[in-house]
Each structure stands twice: as structure tokens, then as C-alpha cells.
């Protein structure tokens, strides 16, 4: 009797299966993004021995622990400084920071703007669930005005960051936004940034049904997919000042910025060459990719 060929999930080799089950709850968007990332690694054909993942703390920060790649689960807010050190110590690495909106833009806010300003060759994937999820659903710098959180029971009244605009203004070479509904576009964007040099930033709107969607009466994970589908408008190249998020408004998605700018290393190398003239010695540390 013929036996059925086992179906191999292409994403499975990228996961530390011994750590399953994961902590993410049903309807949470973080797993969807990991799936997209694994597919982007396959699509871009990047050398997996040269990929390093750095996460901060939060539900999103768990990504580093579940991916079967060289990965570092660092302290809260310090994923970018850690990634900076890693990249500058080993220029041949593709350093990918995977973290939450709170980790990257609240406690870690100053690090990310300076990394963008310097155009460090880092790839930042920001999972934006609009709150601090792991600690119980508090207001984050991304929480839309009027949204309910545990620390804003009458509605958030602080203006939220427009993350693409902030990263664009700070000098990022690549800026995009997708939602967990846009799996193909997101996979393509991830694949693009793995091949692009310079500071690259992707914001991904992702549901936290347990803490954000439920409190704001937005339903479960599936309802959020429908919501993302209905509200999203693809506008590649849109000026980032025109893409702020609001509680119930349209979600502008797409690739907003893709520019060439000398990265940190090129600028440093040029400066050394100019200063040292003939005394400048080409070293592997300065040229390696
Ligand atoms: C120095 C420090 N301050 C505060 C915390 C508590 N803490 C853990 S995760 C977190 C927020 C996480 O939010 P976000 O980065 O948006 O990730 P999410 O859980 O939403 O995926 C906070 C405040 C901590 N672990 N360390
Ligand atoms: S609390 Fe929210 S973000 Fe964290 S695992 Fe649960 S659903 Fe996902």
C-alpha cells in the first residue's frame, strides 16, 4: 500500500521546534510575521550563517528565542545598541532587529533615531500592536488618540508617533508599513531589506486580540484581518507626513521611502581616507560586507 508523503512546512526548519508551544495567543499577529520572515529568508537566498536576529523584551521580543538562527534576546529597549555593536564588530553580518513598538520607540526611542540618523546598516522590523502587550496592555507612544488601554481607561489623549514619518525624518534609507493581512507584500519588503544596504525600517500593524482589540471592541484576530483588509489603502511613495494612524481611520500601507545614502561605515571610511591620506590602510574590517 502506498504511503502518503509527509508534507514539509517550509517554515519549520527556521524554528526551534523544541521550544514549541510558543507563548503567542490565538489571533496574535506575531507568528504570521515570523512565517513571512522565514519565507523572505528563502526568497532572498541570504546566507543564513550571516544572519543575526536581535530582539528586545515583550511578546514581540520572543521572536529571537523561537528562530533557529543566531539570535540574541537582549534587555528592554536596548536591541538597537546591541545590534549596533554586533554589526560594527562583524561587518559581514545581516543584523535584523525584531521588536515591539514599545521597546523600540518608548524606552528605546533615542537609540533608534540615532541609528537612522547615522544610516547604520541595520534592518528593523517593528511589530506595532499599539500597546505594551506583555505587561498587560498599557498605553504606548503608538496608541491612537481615544483608544482604550489599561492606563487610559477613558481613552488615550496623547498624540501618537507616526513611525514612518519619524524614521524618514531621522534619515532611514528604507521605510515601509504593512499589516499582518498583507503577507505577500510584507514578505517581499522583508526580502528587499535583507538585500539593501543602510538603515531599513518596516512597521507591521499586528493584532493583540487579548488586550487591544477586546478592550476596544474590535473583535478577535479574524475580525482584525477583515478590518485591516477594509481599511488599508496601498500608497507606495506617499509622503510619510500623510500616513499617521488613527483609531478608526484608513491605514495607509506601502513602501514610502527607498533611497540611497552613504551608510555609517562608508562615511567613516571616507573621513579616515581624507584625514590620513597616504597613511590610510585598507583593512578587512573597513571593507568587508
Ligand atoms: C527596564 C525595563 N523596564 C520595563 C520592563 C517591563 N516591560 C517588559 S515588556 C514591556 C513593553 C513591551 O511592549 P512592546 O515592546 O510594545 O512589546 P509587545 O509586548 O507589545 O509585543 C515592558 C514595559 C522591563 N522588562 N525592563
Ligand atoms: S498579549 Fe497580545 S501581543 Fe502578546 S501574545 Fe497575547 S495576543 Fe500576542
Closest ligand 2 atom number to CA of residue 127:
3
Backbone angles phi, psi at 124, to 5 degrees: -110, 125
pLDDT, tens digit, for every residue of 231-242? 999 999 999 999
* CB distance 212 to ligand 2 below 6 Å: no
pLDDT, tens digit, for every residue of 51-103? 999 999 999 999 999 999 999 999 999 999 999 999 999 999 999 999 999 99
Q: Which residues of 29-62 are buried (b: 16+ CB within 10 A; e: fewer)?
A: bbbbbbbbbbbbbbbbebeeeebbbbbbbbbbbb
* CB distance 196 to ligand 2 below 6 Å: no
Q: Which of 88-92, 149-153, 174-178, 252-256 has the lowest mean pLDDT?
A: 88-92
What pTM, to 2 d.p., does this model score? Answer: 0.95
* CB distance 25 to ligand 2 below 6 Å: yes
What confidence score (pLDDT) does residue 202 get? 98
State the alpha helices, DSSP H only, in 45-108. Answer: 63-66, 79-89, 101-102
- Say how far apart CA 139 and CA 146 lie, in whole Å: 11
**How close is the Cα of 215 to the center of ligand 1, in Å?**
19
- Say how far apart CA 164 and CA 170 lie, in whole Å: 10
What confidence score (pLDDT) does residue 1 get? 61
Amino acid at each position: 500500500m502506498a504511503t502518503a508523503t509527509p508534507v514539509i512546512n517550509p517554515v519549520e526548519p527556521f524554528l526551534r521546534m523544541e521550544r514549541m508551544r510558543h507563548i503567542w495567543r490565538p489571533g496574535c499577529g506575531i507568528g504570521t510575521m515570523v512565517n513571512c520572515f522565514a519565507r523572505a529568508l528563502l526568497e532572498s537566498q541570504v546566507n543564513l550563517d550571516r544572519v543575526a536576529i536581535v530582539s528586545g523584551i515583550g511578546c514581540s521580543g520572543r521572536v529571537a528565542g523561537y528562530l533557529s538562527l543566531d539570535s540574541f534576546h537582549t534587555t528592554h529597549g536596548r536591541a538597537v545598541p546591541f545590534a549596533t555593536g554586533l554589526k560594527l564588530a562583524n561587518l559581514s553580518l545581516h543584523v535584523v532587529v525584531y521588536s515591539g513598538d514599545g521597546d523600540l520607540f518608548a524606552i528605546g526611542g533615542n537609540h533608534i533615531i540615532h541609528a537612522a540618523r547615522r544610516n547604520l546598516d541595520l534592518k528593523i522590523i517593528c511589530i506595532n500592536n499599539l500597546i505594551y502587550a506583555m505587561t498587560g496592555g498599557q498605553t504606548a507612544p503608538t496608541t491612537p488618540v481615544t483608544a482604550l488601554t489599561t492606563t487610559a481607561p477613558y481613552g488615550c489623549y496623547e498624540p501618537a508617533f507616526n513611525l514612518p514619518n519619524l524614521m524618514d525624518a531621522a534619515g532611514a534609507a528604507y521605510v515601509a508599513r504593512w499589516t499582518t493581512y498583507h503577507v505577500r507584500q510584507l514578505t517581499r519588503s522583508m526580502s528587499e531589506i535583507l538585500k539593501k544596504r543602510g538603515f531599513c525600517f518596516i512597521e507591521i500593524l499586528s493584532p493583540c486580540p487579548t488586550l487591544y482589540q477586546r478592550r476596544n471592541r474590535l473583535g478577535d484576530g479574524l475580525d482584525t484581518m477583515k478590518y485591516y483588509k477594509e481599511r488599508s489603502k496601498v500608497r507606495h511613495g506617499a509622503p510619510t507626513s500623510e500616513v499617521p494612524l488613527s483609531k478608526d481611520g484608513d491605514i495607509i500601507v506601502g513602501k514610502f521611502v527607498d533611497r540611497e545614502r552613504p551608510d555609517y561605515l562608508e562615511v567613516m571610511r571616507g573621513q579616515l581616507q581624507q584625514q590620513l591620506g597616504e597613511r590610510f590602510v585598507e583593512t578587512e574590517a573597513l571593507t568587508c560586507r
